[in-house]
Amino acid sequence: MKTIQGPALFLAQFADDEAPFNSWDSITRWAADCGYIGVQVPSWDTRLMDLAQAAESTGYCEDLKGRAAENGIQITELSAHLQGQLVAVHPAYDEAFDGFAASEVRGDPKARQAWAVDQVHKAITASRNLGLSKLAVFSGALAWPYVYPWPQRPPGLIDTAFDELTRRWRPLLDHARDNGVDLCFEIHPGEDLHDGISFEMFLDRLDQHPSAQMLYDPSHYVLQALDYIANIEIYHERIGMFHVKDAELNPTGKQGVYGGFQPWTERAGRFRSLGDGQVDFGAIFSELTRHGFGGWAVVEWECAFKHPEDGAREGAQFVRDHIIRVTDKAFDDFAGAGTDEAANRRMLGLDRGHG
């Protein structure tokens, strides 16, 4: 067993143009003041880091790490969620996702995809330069508009979508493997990799690529009515990252999983700050610890009600209270008799003519 590391904070929801969220030095000081010892960094946010420099210069990476360390913070992982989303975009979402891309490639899906692939490639290299072994990504989606289809899907549609998704991601996974980095796909509605079965479909086409792992976030499983504890038992060997995020699903006679197009505060399923939702984090931390997960517990704050700064401060202590420091001895060692093989044989009656 291993002790889970943390607490850490995903900075994507906090980076802002206002202090202390507008620079690397000030946001890491703020995170440390909240009680965090690590941060997960959105690689697209130039207020916090320059991805191109990080991919090109180990000196830049050492400076980035050193400035964080002065504030008592270490970088846990990079995130390339937004760039990964653009690796595969169904035309229905072209305009909605265009804002994730650099201005010069917006309105040009082919150029946007090439830009996104290059960005993920750079994020992998930057992770290596920072001494990191995991990178968070979204898979993107070609088949998602057909997840609950009417009319029915034509034969082969999903196979074609997953074959293409695999074709686009395999070179990036190979680059990740060659650089000692795993790509941790966040299993997330809106992505083609949205549950265990869709992740398996992807893995099968990748010949079980060793660098394809999961980012485990139980909130997305609660909102799908998926068994998030059993998921750990099934996929623990592929879980490379952990987002600590709470959620609740309170179906009524009027709405359920899909939410009736309501705003977040009015949906049956919604994200909550840690401890305010329905996720059994005691069971999750126990199960991950039992299976030897030694990665970071990273708070991702998303809540329909609570102020983010309150959620962040409460989240640090919440994670600290849930991390299980693993034991190096059995609880009943005090009753050990210090026996040996001869005694074992006597206890079994093996030297008394019983066999």
Choose among 276, 277, 281, 274: nearest CA to 322: 281
- Distance separating alpha carbons of residues 219 and 214, to the nearest angstrom: 14
DSSP 3-state of 348: coil
Nearest to 305 by CA among 273, 267, 259: 273
Taking the C-alpha atoms of residue 127 and residue 134, their distance in angstroms, rounded to an integer, is: 7
Q: What is the pLDDT of residue 352?
A: 73
Q: Sorting pLDDT into bands at 50, 70 and 90, what band is 347?
A: confident
75-84, 311-320, 325-334: segment of lowest average pLDDT: 325-334
Strands (E), the chain: 5-10, 38-42, 74-80, 134-137, 182-186, 212-216, 239-244, 246-249, 269-272, 296-299
Kindly state the average pLDDT of the residues 246-275: 97
Q: How many CB atoms lie within 10 A of CB 264?
A: 13
**Which pLDDT does position 31 carry in this prediction?**
98
**Nearest CA-CA partner of 279 in 303, 310, 259, 308:** 303
Looking only at the bridges linking them, the beta strands covering 74-80 and 38-42 are parallel
Indicate the pLDDT class of residue 177, thresholds 50, 70 and 90: very high
Q: Is the pLDDT of residue 188 over 60?
A: yes
Statement: residue 355 has pLDDT above 60: no
Q: Domain spans of the chain?
A: 5-330
Which phi and psi angles does 293 have, rounded to 5°?
A: -70, 120
Environment class of residue 340 by beta-carbon count within 10 Å: exposed (0-12), middle (13-18) or buried (19+)?
exposed
Indicate the residue type of 183.
Answer: L
Mean pLDDT of the chain: 96
User: What is the per-residue pLDDT for 105?
Assistant: 98
Question: Structure tokens of 228?
Answer: 């998030």
Query: Can you name the residues that pair with 239 across neighbouring β-strands?
Result: 214
- For the 5-330 domain, the top CATH level (class) is alpha beta
Model confidence at 354, pLDDT cuts 50, 70, 90, reads low
**Which helix (H) or strand (E) is 212 found in, with range?**
strand 212-216
Confidence band for 238, pLDDT divided at 50, 70 and 90: very high
Residue pair 279/220 in contact (Cβ under 8 Å)? The answer is no
| pLDDT range class, residue 336, cuts 50, 70, 90 | confident
158: number of CA atoms within 13 Å, CB side?
15
Nearest-CA neighbor of 85 among 109, 50, 49?
A: 109
**pLDDT one-digit tens code per residue, 20-66:** 999 999 999 999 999 999 999 999 999 999 999 999 999 999 999 99
Amino acid letter for position 222 = V
| Backbone phi, psi, residue 258, to 5° | -80, -20
